[in-house]
Structure 1
Amino acid sequence: KAIHKVSDRSEAPFIAINCASIPENLLESELFGFEKGAFTGAHKTTLGKIECAQGGTLFLDEIGDMPYHLQAKLLRFLQEKVIERLGGRKEIPVDVRVICATNQNLEVMVSEKAFREDLFYRITEITLNIPPLRDRDEDVLILANFFLQQYAAEYKRSAKSFADDALYGLRNHKWPGNIRELQNKVKSSVIMSTSTQVTAFDLGFFDKENAEYELSLNLRAVREQAETIAIQKAYALTDGNMSKTSELLGITRPTLYSLIEKYRIGINV
């Protein structure tokens, strides 16, 4: 999307499609469109993603998951810059720049006859190799903070930063789901957190069987986490009554106020 925004096609459409998320029997019609009566339920002519991107950019995510039989039709579009809708016989000229992405090794797929060799060379004229998040430690916190600010503003939440235990977890997690996993974890934690700081618990790291982060946390961080959770639960159980909250916790109200301020818990006092 960034490539599209800084290009001379930025005023034209940017259309993205994930080849892995659409059933095989629907992907062809999604890409190329269909004519009225092409199949049962085709009550009107419908444009595909390629035509919708006319003059702009088409982003094919997870192209390695595109069915083999459909790759030939995509290759023809890339080479001749024309398409035919399903059920149609008319060639439709299209002017679209295509960007592809995949997390699979296409060269291996070519050798295994799972990906067309001619299409491989057609889409790899210019390539960018972006290492997985687990190999880019320096990017994790930058991206995490970006997502935190984005979702805090979008959902009007109080989270402003990550607690120390959360930072430790972010740096040490292996991120098998890559950036999408990071994005989803931060989004969920921002929505669920009631504090100005997102903790490792909010991020779900303490639910892991191999709690390698938990073992390395210092005693102060563990105590802070436990006290924060206890205060939040007591506050919820007493419907926000501070006197009952302090009584339930077995502490004085001044001590409760002090802890709320110390841990920056999102409670109006």
Structure 2
Amino acid sequence: MKSGEAAKLMPGWDTTKLSRIERGLYHISGDDVRTFTAKLGVEDPEGVEEVASVAEEPAGGAHGWWKAYDSRVPEALIDFVQLESRASKIRMYHPVVIPGLLQTPSYVREIIGGSPAAISPEQAEILVSIRLARQEVLTRRDNPVEFHALVPESAFHATFEAGPGVMKDQLRKLLDVSERPNVRLQILPLTAHPTYGSNGATTILTFKHPWVSVVSVDNPMGGTHSEDPAEIGFMERVFTAAADTALPVDESRDLITEYLEGKPKWPTTEA
């Protein structure tokens, strides 16, 4: 149906208003969603109610904790945080470090504070606070996200000025989180083919029906996001291939325990 014909189905609507609604520039009520989809002949009660319920929320994610960080960090980062908070399933892989949703406070501060990027201590602390706040998706009481993480074994060999305690605490957290029923944690071993570490940090976000999936590739400015089905399908195949190469969940926990017990040993800065 052409947009002009569709707009005429609703009293007071025209092509311009419909275009602004479609682009998210004009807020409509849940009742408008139900009425308009009914007139369009949409036969998907579950999908319609999901969209209607979101239409009732404050525009722009104003209800979320991240609102306090508007204008203080890149917009792309806030976009990602909002997407992450609404996802029903998250698949995450970083080829170098522990994925953000699994990091301890001391590990986060080492990663962000040790960055060569020229950011102030105040800005660094804002980024630390955001990263830690994001982790509530794993532990929230209502509908905790289903999380599948691929963790590179090479990350266990990192050394920090604060000493080996940083990594020991991080390993303990990995063990604790891996026991959660909504978390599947696998270690990509050092023996894995280098191709599995040659791609950038990737997150695949899956949402409730009828929302489309989103793939995000990380970068220092907050990442780039895509809803393109071909790109999402490709990254899903890449993630699945890496997961098939990674150690099973039980063996992954065993390997983490071995590192905690000092075997195999990770490098230290001591002479």
TM-score by length of 2: 0.25
Higher RCO, 1 vs 2 (CA within 8 Å, ≥6 residues apart): 2
TM-score by length of 1: 0.25
